[in-house]
Amino acid sequence: MFDAMMEKILVMNYKLIFVYFLLSILGILIIYSADYNTALGHVNKGYYLRQIVFVLTGITLFFIFSFINYRLWIHFALYIFIFGIGLLLFVLYFSPPINGARSWINVGFFSLQPSEFMKVAAIILTSTMFLNYDGRLLGFLGVARYSIPVLVSVALIILQPDQGTALVYVLMFGLLILAVGLRLYVLLSFGVLTLLSLPLVWSLLKPYQRERVMVILDPGRDPFNAGYQVIQSKIAIGAGGIPGKGYLEGTQSNLNFIPYPHNDFIFTIAAEEFGFIGSVIIILLVLFLIYTVFISAYNVKEMPAKVIIICTATLLLTQFIVNTYMVLGLIPVIGIPFPFLSYGGSSYLTFAILLGIVHSIHISRRLQV
């Protein structure tokens, strides 16, 4: 057993591990700064202490999932998915609403968000559906068949309601089927249907959701309500300039101008304190991690393993793009955390588990087991 463990250690993907650890440490430092009060000289709520626990737990899970053969999770995929559905149904019927949504289960130390962990279940079950994939381009029936796990998950998440997380699922699956390959008529049909459905989607939006969209075009139309976060975020990013104001010197966060600075708007804090240079470095680190994950797909033969890798990479890419576009005021504020930087146990642990499974695929390929 010791020899087998040493073989796995020798073939680990140290580039992936290094970037994952570095982003996690940066996340703790920025969360500390987001909660720091210059006048008082200390943090207000201690979010960084809980994030340290999340990071240590996540790193432990990362290595556990790295050293367990990924095929085990594929074997139990349906049971994992059913368990995830059970959690989503539990929050719908038994969890008290928080900020108007039933999305969390209070487990004492932190609030568990089943829709985050459901990403793992949906990805694994989707991968099993490609066991007998013959390599042909997907038609409508193929897309419909492979989309079942995601559609079931999205339907329950929308009922919470949590449209932001549901959108991430849809974008992740859309990028997956694009990577697998679509017939031209299917691709064109989806494009036309998307354009035709926009008026219907707009009519289904609630007034506050429509206002968030309109604020993108004109943040000044509601500067103290819907447009407040976007305006303050842009001020903070612009104030950072090229070099940044310096660590713990961000006035927008220290003076509490930015709502939820430790979570959805964590990138704003980084941009103000580390400036354009620091922001570019963080972006490059995230893109390098996504590239490191995605490039693994070209080095494995089993289609389920490819699907897990592609979904993990596209999930990282989707949340990264949505969050950064959101804080820049390019899309409506929909509450999507920045991977590994934002405060939150459910999101961080979900990505840690997914990276662990991807790393397990890498190790299995290198050892040919």
Whole-number pLDDT of residue 42: 60
Cα-trace Rg, the chain = 21
Q: Rounded to whole angstroms, how far apart are CA atoms 103 and 99?
A: 10
Whole-number pLDDT of residue 188: 86
Question: Phi/psi zone of residue 196: left (φ > 0), alpha (ψ -120 to 50 degrees), beta?
Answer: alpha
Whole-number pLDDT of residue 230: 78
Tokens (6 digits) for 150: 């995601």
Tokens (6 digits) for 126: 């989707």
- Are the C-beta atoms of residues 348 and 340 closer than 8 Å to each other? yes
Separation in Å, CA 107 to CA 62, 104, 240, 345, 346: 22, 9, 38, 12, 12
Tokens (6 digits) for 265: 């708007």
- Predicted TM-score (pTM) of the model is 0.92
Question: Structural domain tally of the chain?
Answer: 1
Whole-number pLDDT of residue 220: 62
Q: Rounded to whole angstroms, how far apart are CA atoms 256 and 351?
A: 29
- Are the C-beta atoms of residues 111 and 104 closer than 8 Å to each other? yes
Identify the bridge partners of residue 101 per DSSP, sorted by sequence position.
98
pLDDT along the chain (369 residues), means of 10: 73 91 95 76 75 95 94 94 93 80 76 90 94 85 90 91 87 91 84 79 68 66 65 81 83 72 87 91 96 87 92 95 87 86 91 96 85
State phi, psi for 37 to the nearest 5 degrees: -110, 110
Whole-number pLDDT of residue 19: 96
Overall residue count recorded for the chain in this entry: 369
Structural domain including 235 reads 2-367
- Are the C-beta atoms of residues 191 and 184 closer than 8 Å to each other? no
Residue partners of 335: CB distance under 8 A and separation at least 6: 162, 164, 264
